């Protein structure tokens, strides 16, 4: 049965969105719709134009009969800035202030719509880098890692402070917790979960002293893997010297006053790096 252009455009859009960063061949689409490659090429030109105009992303097209298309979920800079501003507005509420000056974020990290936005923003930033895996530490980092990994279409791995029998054998390291107490803690990663030589992106919710990110860095070294970058949702206020300097943060907690119950969150150094 011959498929009309309108139906092809809808199905091509769905297929590409579910397979980001993947080269899909003209041959594949041509068979799927029993249509000539020349027709598919025309379809892809329309999809490409619309994806850019609507801020959906970039469609890289590889020309020729052996060619195809690859969807890169890159956002427009203005859309990224818009989302970061939305995040600030959402966090700038006194009810989010917790005892000890912490900021409550868990509800947002359980909302698919926020996670889609956060995932797209961070994945856009790293779209040109070769990344093999996203790494985070349990528990609050997991939704962020999953969201970013979904848009980059790579696996994500979860570092744990306590590992379970269901993880198989693990590699563990000790690290100095960044908090003032300078405690030595342990983190571990299932041996099967990361291939040697992988290029790894670290993501997490908050950055305070940087101890956790530093621990993950050591683990990456243990696996003979390579660190590509580290991005967190928010960097917290920290009086001491951070044990890492090479990171980006979408947001920065500028001030927290527990007495007057006020909190001020502003865009982080991520925006300047765009």
Shortest CB 120 distance to a second copy, Å: 10
Report CA-CA distances (Å) from 159 to 109, 144, 172. 18, 13, 9
Strand order in the sheet with 23-25: 23-25, 68-72, 58-62
Residue 225, classified by CB atoms within 10 Å of its CB into exposed (0-12), middle (13-18) or buried (19+), is buried
Q: Which is nearer to a second copy, 38 or 246 (by Cβ)?
A: 38
Q: Which is nearer to a second copy, 149 or 271 (by Cβ)?
A: 149
Q: Which is nearer to a second copy, 31 or 273 (by Cβ)?
A: 31
What is the contact surface with a second copy in residues (CB under 8 A)? 5-7, 9-11, 13-14, 17-18, 46-47, 49-51, 53-54, 56, 98-100, 102-107, 110-113, 115-116, 138-140, 142-143, 146-147, 149-150, 153-158, 160, 164-168, 190, 192-193, 206
Shortest CB 9 distance to a second copy, Å: 5
Shortest CB 272 distance to a second copy, Å: 26
Report CA-CA distances (Å) from 151 to 22, 41, 154. 11, 24, 8
Q: What are phi and psi of 173, to 5 degrees?
A: -135, 160
Contact indicator for 253, 242 with CB cutoff of 8 Å: no
What is the C-alpha to C-alpha distance for residues 213 and 225, in angstroms, rounded to an integer?
15
Contact indicator for 92, 235 with CB cutoff of 8 Å: no
Shortest CB 17 distance to a second copy, Å: 6
Instruction: Using the Cα atoms of residue 213, residue 215, residue 216 and residue 217 in order, give the sign of their dihedral.
Output: positive
Q: Which is nearer to a second copy, 25 or 153 (by Cβ)?
A: 153
Q: Which is nearer to a second copy, 167 or 185 (by Cβ)?
A: 167
Q: What is 26-56 written as a DSSP string?
A: HHHHHHHHT--HHHHHHHHHHHHHHHHHTTS
Shortest CB 247 distance to a second copy, Å: 19
Shortest CB 104 distance to a second copy, Å: 5
Tell me how crowded residue 34 is: count the other CB atoms within 10 A of its CB: 9
Q: Which is nearer to a second copy, 150 or 271 (by Cβ)?
A: 150
Shortest CB 173 distance to a second copy, Å: 18
Q: Which is nearer to a second copy, 69 or 154 (by Cβ)?
A: 154
């Amino acid at each position: 049965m011959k498929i009309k252009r309108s139906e092809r455009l809808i199905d091509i859009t769905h297929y590409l969105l579910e397979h980001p960063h993947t080269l899909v061949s003209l041959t594949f689409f041509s068979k799927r719709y029993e249509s000539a490659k020349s027709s598919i090429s025309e379809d892809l030109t329309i999809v490409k134009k619309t994806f850019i105009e609507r801020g959906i992303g970039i469609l890289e097209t590889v020309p020729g009969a052996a060619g195809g298309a690859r969807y890169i979920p890159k956002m427009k800079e203005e859309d990224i800035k818009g989302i970061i501003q939305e995040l600030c507005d959402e966090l700038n509420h006194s009810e989010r202030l917790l005892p000890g000056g912490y900021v409550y974020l868990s509800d947002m990290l359980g909302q698919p719509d926020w996670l889609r936005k956060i995932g797209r923003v961070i994945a856009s930033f790293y779209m040109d880098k070769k990344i093999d895996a996203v790494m985070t530490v349990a528990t609050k980092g997991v939704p962020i890692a999953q969201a970013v990994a979904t848009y980059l279409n790579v696996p994500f791995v979860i570092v744990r402070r306590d590992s379970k029998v269901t993880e198989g054998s693990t590699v563990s390291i000790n690290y100095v917790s960044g908090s003032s107490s300078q405690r030595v803690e342990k983190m571990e990663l299932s041996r099967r979960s990361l291939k040697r030589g992988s290029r790894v992106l670290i993501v997490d919710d908050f950055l305070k002293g940087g101890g956790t990110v530093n621990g993950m860095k050591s683990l990456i070294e243990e696996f003979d893997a390579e660190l590509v970058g580290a991005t967190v949702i928010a960097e917290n206020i920290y009086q001491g010297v951070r044990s890492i300097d090479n990171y980006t943060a979408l947001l920065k907690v500028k001030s927290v006053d527990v007495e007057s119950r006020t909190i001020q969150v502003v865009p982080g150094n991520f925006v300047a790096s765009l």
